[in-house]
Amino acid sequence: MNLLNSPLGDFTLNRFPLRKKAMLRAWDAADEYLLHYLAENKLLQDDTSLLIVNDGFGGLSIPLNKFQPVVISDSYLSTQAILLNAQNNNIDDGVITIIDSLLTPGSTLNVRSVTGNHVVLIKVPKSLAMLEDQLHRIRPLLDEQSVIVAAAMTKHIHLSTLALFEKIIGPTKTSLARKKSRLIFSQYDGSLKVANNPYPKSCVLPYKLDDVDIKINNHAAVFSQEKLDAGARFFIENIPIEKKYKTIVDLGCGNGILGLMAAIKNPLAKIIFTDESYMAVESSIQNFLSVFEDSREAEFLQTDCLRGVADNSVSLILCNPPFHQDHAINDNVAWQMFLESRAALENKGELWVIGNRHLAYHAKLKKLFGNAEVVVSNKKFVIVKAIKN
């Protein structure tokens, strides 16, 4: 199940984090389609300058490693998967260069070969905001000779997806479908009048601190760009306040709003923010500093769930778990968050989780912790507390 057969050879690929009974592959039909297209049309030469955006687990960069690709990723998990899969396939360190999504490629890295052609491959992200931001970031690297090919499963390509390519890059068309996947071909138009990148965006919270508005900045990867989403609002209204909380973790922090409000309400607590997204962690840093500057201690970890947080060290964990990993919908991440929370919590430490009612987190937490209490609920959301004993 983990062997990718490609025109460039066969490669063993695993998703990250590694799971004993992994049911999902580390690549999809869109990766396969794109690799076959490149080979059939002989688009890659020894002197090709290759840029790959959003390579999930190495499904593109590992087979294409001989072209020394530069990979732009917003994901810690993707970065670790590419490094791990490179090692497992005996690919030399440094052949694949990975940069995070916050860097501006044109000013921080020379991804163009002096004599070779320039090929840009994009796996279409789930978020249109993310795609818009990325297209703005790569446009300065392009010219009329650039080859730009994007790929995704057909169900994830919409008219709005194509409209972004048209608006930011130039004329765009799609391929025929193959194995329920499709390619997008975009041609750089140097005469196109392109607006400035609108990200990061900001919103003002419906709360004040000392009669001053709290402004939140959101990079493109952050959910709910221009307003506080309903789940976050409900959680903020019910964040616990206790002097006993010495260390509070905002797990899967996004823009850090939960941790920020927990810090305001619990002035003696140290706050730790964790997320696997570079843009999420950067948003959290900016938002925390905008309120506290250097007057408050906090730690920001771009990591996998609670990796880097010591066992038995945390008083309170706040968590709004994702129920998907990119386009794949499952509860793997939630279970991992709950398991690692139990390890990280000190005795009598608390895990507070918010979710849609139908996700049944109450049952999952009771099975794991031996207890689970519904703190508060409304028609859509429920907040559940579990205590480590």
Domains for the chain: give ranges and CATH numbers. Answer: 3-186 (3.40.50.150), 201-387 (3.40.50.150)
CA–CA distances in Å: residue 143 to residues 72, 138, 151, 218: 19, 11, 20, 30
Judged against a pLDDT cut of 90, whether residue 331 lies above it is answered with no
How many CA within 13 A on the CB side of residue 39?
A: 13
Task: Tell me which amino acid residue 168 is.
Answer: I
Report the predicted TM-score, pTM, of the whole model to 2 decimal places: 0.92
Ramachandran class of 293: left when φ > 0, alpha when ψ lies in -120 to 50, beta otherwise: left
Cβ-in-10-Å burial (0-12, 13-18, 19+) of 168 comes to buried
The DSSP code for 59 is: T
Judged against a pLDDT cut of 90, whether residue 199 lies above it is answered with yes
Higher pLDDT, 330 or 160: 160
CA distance 209 to 254: 21
CA distance 301 to 273: 6
Q: Are 112 and 142 in contact (CB under 8 A)?
A: no
- pLDDT reported for residue 183: 98
Please spell the DSSP secondary structure of 233-258, one letter per residue. HHHHTT----TT--EEEEET-TTSHH
CA–CA distances in Å: residue 266 to residues 25, 258, 320, 325, 388: 43, 12, 19, 32, 21
Judged against a pLDDT cut of 90, whether residue 108 lies above it is answered with no
Q: Are 241 and 316 in contact (CB under 8 A)?
A: no
How many CA within 13 A on the CB side of residue 175?
A: 20
Q: Are 172 and 182 in contact (CB under 8 A)?
A: no
Q: What percent of the chain has pLDDT over 70?
A: 94
Q: How many CB atoms lie within 10 A of CB 191?
A: 5
Measure CA 180 to chain center.
Answer: 24
- pLDDT reported for residue 224: 76
- pLDDT reported for residue 114: 37
Cβ-in-10-Å burial (0-12, 13-18, 19+) of 256 comes to buried
- pLDDT reported for residue 1: 63
Which tokens hold the place of 158?
A: 């919409």
Judged against a pLDDT cut of 70, whether residue 229 lies above it is answered with yes
- pLDDT reported for residue 115: 43
Instruction: Choose the weakest-confidence range: 51-55, 97-101, 221-225.
Output: 221-225
pLDDT (mean) for 370-379:
95
Judged against a pLDDT cut of 90, whether residue 208 lies above it is answered with no
pLDDT digits (tens, 9 = 90+) for 128-171: 999 999 999 999 989 999 999 999 999 999 999 999 999 999 99
Q: Are 99 and 39 in contact (CB under 8 A)?
A: no
Closest CA to 78 of 99, 51, 104: 99
The H or E element containing residue 213 is strand 212-218
Q: What is the dihedral of CA 8, 13, 16, 21, to 10 degrees?
A: 150
Which tokens hold the place of 6?
A: 């490609």
Which tokens hold the place of 80?
A: 């670790």
Alpha helix (H) residue ranges in 95-214? 105-108, 128-138, 159-168
Which tokens hold the place of 377?
A: 């609920």
Find where tokens 């994901």 sit.
75
CA–CA distances in Å: residue 74 to residues 51, 219, 360: 15, 11, 30
Alpha helix (H) residue ranges in the chain? 29-40, 76-88, 105-108, 128-138, 159-168, 230-236, 257-265, 278-292, 332-344, 361-369
Judged against a pLDDT cut of 70, whether residue 43 lies above it is answered with yes
